[in-house]
Structure 1
Amino acid sequence: MTEPFSVRIEVRGYETDSQGHLNQAVYLQYAEHARWSILRHSGIEQSGLLDRGVGPVALETNIRYLRELRAGDQVDVDCVFEWGEGKTFRILQTVKKADGTVSAEVASVGGLLDLAERRLVRDPGEVFKALATDPGALGL
């Protein structure tokens, strides 16, 4: 099995709460950053999605907070897509300190919205595969 795609982020002081911990909402931003990064890595740009008339949508997100993060911590946010037969897909992500300590686990359900019809496309994996130069990075 290949290693999941990962992006490194440094926790910035302004992202922390009054206890000095990374604010809970920022985990969502880190996860979103990693998802857009893997799309770019696979050759899919936001403009290409818009030109095709589609856009990724988040339908559900669950976060398990496991260990605190503080300003200056280096974290790696990985991203693995799981594809099924329907209109949705899962994205599993882990936020880890540079020493490997897991700080959070993020599990999401996503879809690909047809921007004209305002409905999920039938097979999002096929659309991503058609747009990607490296669909293997997305597990396709």
Structure 2
Amino acid sequence: MTFSTRITVRGYEIDMLGHVNNTVYFQYGEHARWECLRAAGVSPDDLMKQETAPVVLETTIRYHRELRLGDEVEVTCAFEYGEGKTFAYRQELRRADGKLAAEMTGVAGIMDLRARRLLDDPRARWRELASDPGPLGL
């Protein structure tokens, strides 16, 4: 299952060239991932009570088209699981006309904040935390 959320480009996100600053794409991706967690019933408060947090280990962005002030952007989020302590995420940012503006891929994990180490089996951890694991690809 692929989760998606909409974002409207705001004036303070524009650079001197008139399009969205490259660092804002990271923020859009982060926002969509937190919205995906929220849709699954995972809250930051629940994570903090367990002294855990999702952490990004790597993110790559490929830009295709510029985003400009007022554009409506659909940002998708899909998690992919394998073996081990990490999981992958794939995201697309599409303009309202359906054209791909950017693609993001990354690797993340769930950290034990006391031990400062990644937890084993993030898939099992999300299942424990989520009231609706569907948005998390489970």
Match of 2:51 in 1: 53
- Count of residues in Structure 1 that have an aligned counterpart in Structure 2: 138
Alpha-carbon deviations, 1:37-67, whole Å to 9, x = none? 0000000000101111210000000000100
Once residues 12 and 53 of structure 1 are traced to their aligned partners in structure 2, the CA distance between those partners, rounded to angstroms, is 34
Match of 1:94 in 2: 92
Work out whether 1:127 is the aligned partner of 2:116.
no
Q: TM-score, normalised by structure 2?
A: 0.98
- The amino acid of 2:69's aligned partner reads A
Unaligned runs of 5+ in 1: none
Unaligned runs of 5+ in 2: none
Deviation, 1:119, is 0.4
RMSD of Structure 2 on Structure 1 (CA): 0.7
Once residues 55 and 10 of structure 2 are traced to their aligned partners in structure 1, the CA distance between those partners, rounded to angstroms, is 27
- The amino acid of 1:18's aligned partner reads M
Q: Which of these residues, 15, 38, 46, is aligned with residue 17 of structure 1?
A: 15
Q: Which of these residues, 80, 85, 88, is aligned with residue 78 of structure 2?
A: 80
Alpha-carbon deviations, 1:13-48, whole Å to 9, x = none? 110111101000000000000000000000000010
Once residues 91 and 138 of structure 1 are traced to their aligned partners in structure 2, the CA distance between those partners, rounded to angstroms, is 10
Q: Which of these residues, 97, 102, 105, is aligned with residue 103 of structure 2?
A: 105
Q: TM-score, normalised by structure 1?
A: 0.96
Query: Identity, % of aligned pairs?
Result: 54
